[in-house]
Structure 1
Amino acid sequence: MNREFLNYTFLGNTVSNYLIFTGILLLGYIFKTVLSKLLSRFMFRLVGKLSKNGEEDEKALKRLLVQPLEVLLFLIMLFFAFQVLKYPLDPSEVRETDPMLKVVVRRLYQIFVIVATNWVLLRFIDFIGLLFSRRAEKTKSKLDDQLVPFFKDFIKVLVSIFAFLVMLGSVFAVDVTGLVAGLGVGGLALAFAAKESLENLLASFTIFLDKPFAVGDLVEAGGITGSIEKIGFRSTRIRTLEKTFVTVPNKSMIDKPLNNLTLRTFRRVSIDINLTYNTTSAQIKAIVAELQDFIDQHPRTNQDGRIKFHQLGAHSKDVMVLYFVDTTDFNEFIDIREEITYKIVEIVERNGGEFAFPTSTVYLQQSEPDASIIQTQDQK
């Protein structure tokens, strides 16, 4: 009875064929995660020599590859499952006279396989980029820090373009060779259409060759001030001082004046000391001389510091304080500036000076009463 049931034919296939079909799909669904982890481990061994962290890098690769590999493996299992079934016509062949549904289903399956394969390759490229980025972090040069993400994105674009061409050739039967050759004729029109993208791409090569800035530098460009986080082949990403994330086209980074604040040898400080008008000239001379000596002797300033009594303000006598701090680190700079500012206050107070603040003096003059009015009052 069981054999008769298994041999029962429905739509050209026996019950046993349908059971094998279902079994393959179930096995593929159940074991796709296990198989994807095994494949990711195998792929890790292929590039294991580049890894410096061992298990940590292997776990990172699994996180990247497990999901796309699961999709790809299930599609492969789906192919083998359908191979068990019998059809009036070979499903692997598509003819002009075939039903539209068959053509659509087959082409959709091919598209999914190509997309899943491309997904796996892109994730694997991300992992290779991660390994090289960790190596670049351990070197003193910043050039490799910006080259790694650039070439990683560039290779991903090439792989995606290749996958798209494969899809055109295998799924839609497009003559890819003729298409590529035709691009030579339409290359000029394409270049005009992609003018901005090509300009940004060429600008990225200019940045790498001329090196006006590198990843991690603090720059000021086009009214934006922040640190460079990434240099891509189309744009540069800047983390501003307000912690916002700004994307600037590479063309704008080289066409406009750019101030690389990281390359400064010193940081400039310029302030005015506002002293009250009660401060005597002898006190001002003593304050200026002592401040000049302190700035000149400080171990973190250069000899270009200038302390001058330079103007009589609206409400104060102003002493200019100008000096340069020998550091490019912002946190160290504000610590040194605070130390010098405390010393300025101490010197002013020690010499009897007082700090002024905006004030105004109003003089009221009472006018004498009119004599004629006084006489009239007396007569009354």
Structure 2
Amino acid sequence: MDFAHSARAADYLARVAEFISTEIDPIEPGYHRELATLDNPWVTLPVIEELKAKARERGLWNLFLPDERHGAGLCNVEYAPLAELMGRSAIAPEVFNCNAPDTGNMEVLHLYGSPAQQERWLAPLLRGEIRSAFCMTEPDVASSDATNMVATATVKDDDIVLNGTKWFSTGIGHPNCRVAIFMGLTDPDAAKHARHSMVLVPLDTPGVKVERMLPVFGRHEEPFGHGEVSFTDVRLPLDAVIAGPGRGFEIAQGRLGPGRIHHCMRLIGLAEKALELACKRATGRVAFGSPLAGLGGNRERIADARIAIEQARLLVLNAAWKLDTFGLKGALSEVSQIKVVVPNMALGVIDMAIQLHGAAGMTDDFPLAAAFAGARALRLADGPDEVHQGVVSRIELKKYVS
């Protein structure tokens, strides 16, 4: 395997880096300050739409999609370093139309959506005109086991009727969020992985209600956020079901493989940003007559952070290569490995950076507190560590069972 950048990837990498440096970095601190002063922060500030227009004009748009008709045509290994660059910024993923959960939802519609579903929902998502949410996790069951779902998607004549409550539905707070993908139980008597369906739900459908927005370590992460959403006798035509009833698990697996690569590479970018801030603080701040870098084992901590980031990046690139080469079945262990390793690595690096910043590291004067909350959340999002460790151990032990 060769992780050298292809000519195409290198070109995109240079252009994305230049755009972030010249267009995003100069305005991002002011963007966050302005959003924090608003009585209603669940809005899209004009600067975001301006940046999106610039990115699209320069061809830096939908970079995550491997299909050249709609995206850059990059494979996972080629896209991974771009995701890492975007991960350094809280707004860059949206600016390039590469933010979750829209990326995963676009992939679902691209791979499994009907022509009518693609025209109604995929096309405006690809243009960045609307946003979307993904409604899978539930408050009353252990959602780490998706077969526990109690929300229902019941076929009645030519309709599908949805009932239940979902939460941590990321993106539901965005003012441009127009559609959610709902996963629910359709046939409890079917085979274990053929019981559930995914349904496209316009958010203005009667019976859909955003009950509340949920804080993550005290942060609501406006303007996207994570919401608790109730579905009460939500009736939709059967053609709102993606790929047909009973195919929810199949779609979920197709969605989550690349998405985990994206999550992990963005998080590596965030860890790089934290290490950069830590090094600047360590060399520019003096205590007890010495730069912080020379005190209390900080040089060793910085070295350990660099080593941990490099190890994690190589593991993710290996998973991306296997996903490109063998598909999800051939990369199942590797994708689960990175989902365990990368958030834990990032937490360690960010915590070290916070410590070097002292009390300031816990404030919003620096992006470290928000980074720590985001990294910690990713030990649960897309499956908790223990689920992925179970996948890795099962695959490993299978090698020794005749």
Bigger-Rg structure (1/2): 1
TM-score under structure 1 length normalisation: 0.25
Q: Which has the higher contact order (CA 8 A, sep 6+)?
A: 2
TM-score under structure 2 length normalisation: 0.24
More helix by share: 1
